[in-house]
Amino acid sequence: MKKYIYSLMAILLALLTVGFTACSDDDEPEGSDIVGTWSYVADLPGDFAILLQFTKDGKFHEVINSTLVSPSHGTYTVSGHKLYLTYILENDTATVEYDYSVQGDKLMLYVEGQGPTTFTRVSDSVIEPYL
């Protein structure tokens, strides 16, 4: 009788273990770590700054030196550690590819042959007046 009870408990324990290790459906989609607004300020003479905003629906806005250049916009996609920005121009589009990584509140964009350009996460309200 004891063998039967121990066997039954072992089977029950095995079933519970399988039930708790099932796959989760709340995994974040690829690229969701960049959603939000990011700021880059260069260590150059003058006021050179870039604001980038990525939205959940795959769109982005870019503001360079908020007083000099009108905002750019387009769509973005992420594949692994690659970020593709497709700019919407007057009569055309242009796609730029970056390697990227996110570490906490830092977004690093890598251009081949150069070091990373590091952006810092900021509030969405920082870019909104320029859009």
What three-state secondary structure class fits 28?
A: coil
Structure confidence by residue, pLDDT tens digits, 71-127? 899 999 999 999 999 999 888 999 999 999 999 999 999 988 888 899 999 999 999
pLDDT value at position 90? 85
Dist CA 9 CA 5 (whole Å): 6
CA neighbor of 116 nearest in space, from 108, 126, 127? 108
In this structure, the dihedral spanned by the alpha carbons of residues 30, 101, 62 and 117, taken in order and rounded to 10 degrees, is -170
**Residue 61's beta-bridge partner residues?**
53, 73
Dist CA 131 CA 43 (whole Å): 25
Structure confidence by residue, pLDDT tens digits, 37-73? 999 988 776 678 899 999 999 999 999 886 666 789 9
Backbone angles phi, psi at 111, to 5 degrees: -110, 135
Query: Side chain identity at 11, as an amino acid letter?
Result: I
Dist CA 81 CA 74 (whole Å): 19
Q: Which two tokens stand for residue 89?
A: 């121009």
CA neighbor of 119 nearest in space, from 127, 67, 70? 127
